[in-house]
Amino acid sequence: MNAIELLARSLPHREPPELPVDATCCVLGTEEPCIGREHAIKPSFTNLDLLAAPDSDRVSVRAWRVLTHGVPAAEGKKRDTFPLMQSSWLCDGESVALLNRQAVRERVLNGVPYSQWSGYVTTSYKKHGSLRAPVNRNGAQRWLFELDVVDCSDREKVAEWWRRLRETREAGIPRPVIESIDCSVHLMGKHLARWRDFETWARDKYLSPLYRFLTYLLPSSEELNGKQD
């Protein structure tokens, strides 16, 4: 089971643009009803390592449905939206939930309770997260954050790192400074003791996927001031 298969169970049915024939799906590597690969995988696609059968010129109907899943443009808008690329999401094989940053934060900190699920968190809205997101089972808590798989399964570690990061953020250290651990002399002068302690702790962590993911989830100034992000 991979994220494409999990998502295919959860998305609404759509008729393919041509009559399917049994063939090898370039995405899944499985023998099943397929259509022309060009309906889902464009010539500009270069991440052939993400395809199970990159030499196949066919794509399964279910993979096509996932990779081209779109929502018609809202009234007053010119373009359709593609939520699996333009939003963060969580799928349990029965439904797909689109998430904002606060919703992702809640699930990361509290844990996702489903027996089987996949989740993608994006800030750039350009990537096919469904091709990279891992499927979690047996209590695993792995998220795809942009191109990195972030393992949040160690709940004590997540809680401790979050506590450190949150306290530093609430003390008035901006999120970009926490992310880069590059603090200006002026800001350091206002938080010298706290910053020295935090930097010592963060120095061997700040390049890790978990640190970057949790830093992204930190509250904004608007949230800290009681306003929505």
pLDDT at 227 over 90: no
pLDDT at 229 over 50: no
- Pairwise pLDDT comparison (185 vs 34), residue with the higher score: 34
Which tens digit of pLDDT belongs to each residue from 152-205? Answer: 999 999 999 999 999 999 988 889 999 999 877 777 767 778 888 999 999 999
Mean pLDDT (whole number) for 7-31: 96
Which tens digit of pLDDT belongs to each residue from 199-210? Answer: 999 999 999 999
Burial class (CB within 10 angstroms; exposed 0-12, middle 13-18, buried 19+) of 120: buried
Predicted pLDDT of residue 73: 65
- Helix axis angle for 101-110 and 155-170, nearest 10°, is 130
Instruction: Using alpha carbons, select from 70, 4, 63 the residue that is nearest to residue 35.
Output: 63
Report in angstroms the alpha-carbon separations of 226 from 65, 69, 163: 40, 36, 19
Residue spans per domain, the chain: 3-67, 83-151, 155-224
Q: Alpha-carbon distance 221 to 218, whole Å?
A: 10
3-state secondary structure of 153: coil
